[in-house]
Structure 1
Amino acid sequence: MAHIDYYFGTPSPWSYLAGSRLEEIAARHGAKVTYKPVDLLQLFDRTGGVRPANRHPARMEYRGQELRRWSSHLNMPLNLKPAFWPVNPAPSSYAIIAAQQAGGGDLPGLVQSFLRAVWAEDADIADDGVIREKLAAAGFDPELANKGLFIGAETFGRNLEQAVEAGAFGAPFYIVTETGERFWGQDRLDFLDSHLAAL
């Protein structure tokens, strides 16, 4: 069974636009996915990237055009100026980490619900009430919002170190652990699909 380490940021529009395609690909090939939320701003700093706030206006304008095009292409609603962005990724990331450890709920659904909250629902994913609501809706104990703080903080930091060591530098980023093949971006999921088919 192939294994995919999935590095992403809960405020990432490109992770949002990946939708459920990773999970569909993994199911088709019997692959396992480990969800590894990271602080993308720190990942950019560590790997030569540029934070959005520091990017040239031309790059940000093009980013907006691409987001609009992909949103239309994938038929996924996306607000180019969400009410809560930038947003602290730590609380939602801690909740995902705690839920992954606890098991028993819909983890992919939880991940996607946080991404959708930012880009399609204008919800604040750093808000405790929103986090509890998303946990409950995905079949997890809402108390994980509090119970998972220590393990969440510890794992969140470790995920960043692992991302740097593994060669990830943006999001979404998919690494097939058996082969070391890396795929950056929701527009590379077809390549991931083909790679898994060839294993």
Structure 2
Amino acid sequence: MLLATGADDVEPDLPDLPDAIRRGLVRYCPICDGYEARGKPIAVIGHGERGLGEAVFVARTYSRNVTLLTLGQSMELDAGERERVGKHGIKVVYEPVIELGVEDGRITMLRTAGGEEHRFEVLYSALGLKLRSELALGLGARHDETGALVVDEHNRTTVPGLYAAGGVVRGLDQVVVAMGHGAVAATDIHNRCELPTEEEVEGAGGRTSGTLIPLRPSIPEAP
């Protein structure tokens, strides 16, 4: 069995969020499209190590005008984190957001509970993922602290006969990576299936005997 159940983005607590997401006003992948806002004001929604890490990445890569919005979540920065924030000029806003402003088909303004307005060209959410790995975990598959499945070089989990691919696997969450996972797993699954060759079918007068038909290219077994 190949498990490719993926993951869901954790959505930010914003007013009119479903409409904003449906219209593509909230983005989730600065690696994918951050270049479109190079040098412009960018907001990152998040908190903790993940939120700060994404804000630093955006500030280091695309813009020196980055604001981290914690949406009311407390976030105690240690000395090293304060140094990173200062080095990249990141502004941290702790108040909840109570209003969105939309202009020309994009979110351009967020108003916080204190009445302050913050204006941006692009808004990214960095609240993480909710992995759909419950089935594999229920079977006892090895996983990390987030619930992401640990697989070998053939994308086999620690449960015999169970493979995993895509966002449910520990590692980089990208479509091209998921495609590679699927190809690797499918190749190994095929190579483990016992199917008759044409010669064996003819030689047996239509009767079949089990044999292994390797699908090339094949990934060698680990020693």
Flag whether TM exceeds 0.5 (same fold).
Answer: no
Greater helix share, structure number: 1
Greater strand share, structure number: 2
**Larger Rg over CA atoms:** 2
Structure 2 length as normaliser, TM-score? 0.26
Larger relative contact order (Cα-Cα within 8 Å, sequence gap ≥ 6): 1
